[in-house]
Every structure is written in C-alpha cells, then in structure tokens.
Amino acid sequence: MANRIAKLALEDGTVFTGRAHGVDGEKSGEVVFNTALSGYQEVLTDPSYRGQIVTMTCPHIGNYGVNDEDVESGRAWVEGFVAREFSRVTSNHRATMGLDEYFRRQGIIAIDDIDTRALTRKLRVDGSLSGVLSTTDLLDKSLVAKAKAVPKMSGLDLVKYVTSRDSKPWREFLKSTVEPPATKQLDEARCKYRVALIDCGVKWNIVRMLVQSGCDVTVYPAAVEASDLLKEKYDGVCLSNGPGDPAAVTYTIECVKGLLQKQQPIFGICLGHQILAIALGAAVYKLKFGHHGANHPVKHLETAKVEITSQNHGFAVDEKSLAAIGAECTHVNLNDGTCEGLRHKSMPAFSVQYHPESAPGPHDSRYLFASFAALMDARK
C-alpha cells in the first residue's frame, strides 16, 4: 500500500508535508509540543488536549504499542498527532495493538516524516500557533487560510465538551467506553473520606490516587452548583484538570466561590488550580507556548526540594496577584519562574498547576494527595 500524504499548515504560512497515519480527514486546533519520551497513550486520551494538535518531540513514537490499561479516559481527545516517526514495530508483552491501528479505531488523523525539531523551535520562538492537519485538502494556500481562521484558545470554553453528563460514583465513570481497570472494585472499608470531584476533563489516574488515599469519590459535571455539593456534606472537593481557557468556565468558577464561602476543603489540579485562583480573585494569563511534558522541574518552596513533574497547560496564575487575596505561591517552575502552586492562608484550599497523579510522568508529587487527606482531617 502506497504511503498517503498529509499536510500540517500553520497560521504564519509554514506548511509541513509528511506521511499520513490513521484516518483521512481534516482537523484544526492550537499546535503544541510535548517533551515526554514515552506515555503517548496517556497523552492521546487526556481530555486536556481537546482543541490541540500535539507534536511529540521524542523522535520515535509507538514502539511499545497500545494496551487497554494505560488510557486516561474512555477515548482519544487530541485533534491531531504529530511525530518525526511512528514505529512500524510493536514490541511489548502488554500491547494489544499497534499505534496506527489505534489511530484508525479512535478516528485520529496523524502525520510523521516531518521535521519536528523545526516545528518545535518555531513554537518556542514565535509562541503558540493555530494549525490545520489534513489528508484531504493538500493545497498550501487553502490550508493556511483555514489555519488563520481557527479560533484562539483564549476565551474558549472547551470543558463543556469533555465533562461528565451526570453525577455518578467514580467506578461508573460517565462518558467512558472503557471502565478504568484499576477501579472496578471499591474497598469501602478503606474509605475514610467522602470526596466530590468536579470533572472539567479528569484523568482517571487522579481518581485512582484519591482512592488510594482513602477517598470514596463521586464525580460531578463541571456545571454542578455549590449548593448541590454542600448539602451532601463532603469532606473535600477536588477540582480536576481540563482544556481551554479557565476564565471561560464561569459556571465552575461560581461553584468554587460558593464552596469557599462555606470553608469547604478544596484541592485543585491544573485547570482546577487556575479556576481556584480566579474564584479567589487572582489573575490568570496565557503562556507563550505552554508547558506540555513529563520532565518539568518544580521547586517546592516550603521544603526547597525539586520535583520532576508532568505538565499540560497553556495558562498560568499570576503570582503577583496572590498576596492581595490572602494566598501564597507554594511551588515555582524552575524553567521559567511561573507559579506552579498556591495555598490560601485562611481558607482550607490549595492547588498545583502540574499533574501529581503523573500518567505519564514521575511520581515525585504524589504526596499532594496525602496533603489533601491531611487538610480534610484538619477540618473534620
């Protein structure tokens, strides 16, 4: 079978021509790069990548195939997938299929055989760019025009596309087509805390880590109201990760404001960190090209320890705005000095910008789930 052609066009007029994988079609979105060396299956199924075309900087992707256990949601969410080369060989005893077959089953448009170093350098120098990935329209002028018309990430509410439809116990996981393998049996004897998780696009491993910390988790849609959560008298609330501009998720922000008024213990992760900050009154801004990868160094200011973290976000909390709202920065990114965590000084609320549940990535930050448990203990 002859190789199919695909093209990736950017809004600045740059066009990359490569080899098509997966399904035929056309997708658009913000083009970002991810610096993780592995974990592509978790990247593909992370709801936070809704609206984005993901470029992997690791030159060889797909060698260990795909399995049924390493997914982070019930489907793939990326708009498109880009690599220097997708492996044609699958070598892992856990693999159930190769990456190209997975692309086809999930309806993903993918491209390889392009210069991903040049693409990554362009995004680092020029900042985030909109793009169109196509196997059907191969005219450069047409594709660039389409890329220029792609809506910018700022102002976009993408949470409404990935959130749960109804509130359910975590083991019935809502919009999933596959139930998380590690969460089929709930050991109720180990559940010390009742936790509500507001699903803005949650990764399954967040739920797994909460359960391992002794939590019985109920997942709620992002549009849940504070009154609905407060009447259930939960020990704590977790705000999940998710895609898009946090300022556009006004319904969740209003919910968090109501929870804060009642001194509800809150733990925010990634988008949840930004939403907590906005609800408290802090400012959030768009990063030049975002943080996406599994190797970002973050300093915990209280202990002076450096954690290697998994990250996926395009916005950040303005550290200078924290003092005025009675909060403080707890973690700092050592690459660019941005705020990676906050804690309120008088309310039982804290959050981090990165992913302590990893998946993919190192486990350096999993202590934060124990910190959430300790916060709930202190409020009981």
Catalytic residues, by residue number, are 270, 355, 357
State the amino acid at position 283 in one-letter form.
A
Beta carbons of 270 and 309 less than 8 angstroms apart: no
Beta carbons of 313 and 293 less than 8 angstroms apart: no
- Strand segments, DSSP code E, in 70-181 are 80-82, 85-86, 109-112, 129-134, 168-169
The Cβ-side half-sphere exposure at 108, using a 13 Å CA radius, reads 28
State how far the Cα of 273 lies from the Cα of 282, in Å rounded to an integer.
11
Length of the chain: 380
97: three-class secondary structure by DSSP: strand
The dihedral built from the CA positions of residue 347, 235, 222 and 317, taken in this order, carries a sign that is positive
Determine if the peptide bond prior to 360 is cis (ω within 30°). Answer: yes
Residues 6+ apart with CB under 8 A from 174: 164, 165, 166, 168, 199, 219
Beta carbons of 210 and 238 less than 8 angstroms apart: yes
**DSSP H or E run through 142:** helix 140-148
Residues 6+ apart with CB under 8 A from 145: none
Q: What separation in angstroms does the CA of 107 have from each of 38, 81, 202, 216, 229?
A: 21, 11, 21, 34, 36
